[in-house]
Amino acid sequence: MDFRLTDEQRLFRDTLRSFVEKEIVPVAREWEQSGRYPTEIVEGMKQLGLFGLAVPEEYGGLAADTVSFGLAFEEIARGWMGIAGILGSHSVSCFMLARHGTEEQKQRYLPDLATGARRTGIALTEPGAGTDLQGIRTTARRDGDDYIVNGTKMWITNARHADPLPVLVKTDPSAEPAHKGMSILLVEATSPGFEVTADIGKLGYKGTESCEVVLTDVRVPASQLLGGIEGRGLQQALSSLETGRINIAARSVGIAQRAYDEALGYARQRTAFGRPIGEFQAVEQRLAQIAVRLQAARLMTYWAASRMDEGVRMDTESGMAKIFASEQALECAIDSMRIHGGYGYSTEFEIERLYRDAPLMSIGEGTNDVLRGVVAKALLSGKATVR
């Protein structure tokens, strides 16, 4: 079993690390606090080809292996987790379009999505339906060669920049079970009746917008039905969220790494009673625990990513990695804050932002409590084992 990165993966990581250190780390705190949109950082990610991570090479993308995919999110989240969100929703959507779209849909959108000339996201969640996606109320009624879409979506990342925006709808609200009546439509931003109505205020996860989207009698051509067949929308979305859980796990590793870096640097520099606080046993214990959690989360995340590269179904593995890494990120942020003492609570230090960003990792792409149920069912049914 080889836990080492390939030469190509190491070069990719080092290129990303250099970009993050030069373009993200120096401005993250100031821009996050002022609410400034990171336009220049987005342009830099375009130049690196990062918007094409999940796009096949024949459409101009990087077609990155899943470990490299995770490395991108770890490194960017280490600099500023909100920036990783811009890339995350885009990549999940690109993966879904590449796997499930018709050839016409792929040819129309993927080349521009790969370069960042177009950007995208994914509209699943509603005010009354988050984890329970079968409970959505957004409908798409067939009218000749079009669908007429009505509904509201919430917490949509990239909503003000997504074109097209894949929207989960009910094409047959009476279907039993409900998922058989669910589909995904690729809604273009210029469609009359499509409106981004509000940016939702958040504790953390800043740098990217999270919005309410209202669709009022939006006319969408039937050719924009993902894959061209009704009733497959929920499966299309859930299969793509496997990559989403890898990116959340990797973002969590990035947060944990930055928490460790900040704690280690502070423990070396801060003095008390005439010596660095890192020489006190209580601080040593916390620092060691952060390092253990970080490395365990990293190994689990890249184990799950490597399983996906082997071509096996890995919803259990990605769920495990996402659960573990996200909870370790929060614990690492808390322990790093404790090492910082009062300064950890100050907006002049990085750790308070990490503390605000970390909790989202246990919520996004399926809450950890729900994922525990998914993992348990797979184990009880024999579809997954731990040995």
CA 159 from chain center: how many Å?
A: 14
Residues in the chain: 387
Residue 270: count of CB within 10 angstroms of its CB: 15
Mean pLDDT to the nearest integer, 249-255? 98
pLDDT tens digits, residue range 359-377? 999 998 889 999 999 999 9
Angle, CA of 346, 352 and 355, to the nearest 5°:
155
- What is the structure's pLDDT at 242? 85
pLDDT of residue 191 exceeding 70: yes
Residue 106 pLDDT exceeds 80: yes
Predicted local confidence at residue 250, as pLDDT: 98
The average pLDDT across 190-218 equals 96
Among 367, 366, 365, CA closest to 92: 365
Active-site residue identified among 32, 126, 350, 365 = 365
Residue 96 has pLDDT above 90, yes or no: yes
CA distance 187 to 169: 11
User: What's the pLDDT band for 383 if we cut at 50, 70, 90?
Assistant: confident
- For residue 197, pLDDT over 80 is answered with yes
Contact 218, 151 (CB under 8 A): no
- Reported confidence tier of residue 313, pLDDT bands at 50, 70, 90: confident
Q: Is the pLDDT of residue 312 over 80?
A: no
Residue pLDDT, tens place only, 16-68: 999 999 999 999 999 999 999 999 999 999 999 999 999 999 999 999 999 99
Q: Does residue 131 surpass a pLDDT of 90? A: no
Cβ neighbors of 325 (< 8 A, separation 6 or more) are 248, 249, 250, 252, 253, 256, 297, 298, 300, 301, 361
Measured on CA atoms in the order 295, 300, 301, 307, is the torsion positive or negative?
Answer: positive
Determine what percent of the chain is predicted with pLDDT higher than 70. 100
Rounded Cα gap, residues 332 and 259, in angstroms: 6
Q: Please give the Cα distance from 35 to 206 (Å, whole number).
A: 7
Mean pLDDT of the chain: 96
365 has catalytic annotation: yes
Residue 351, pLDDT score: 96
pLDDT tens track for 160-184: 999 999 999 999 999 999 999 999 9
Both structure tokens of 259? 């928490």
Domains of the chain with bracketed CATH: 7-115 (1.10.540.10), 133-231 (2.40.110.10), 235-381 (1.20.140.10)
Confidence of residue 1 (pLDDT cuts 50, 70, 90): low
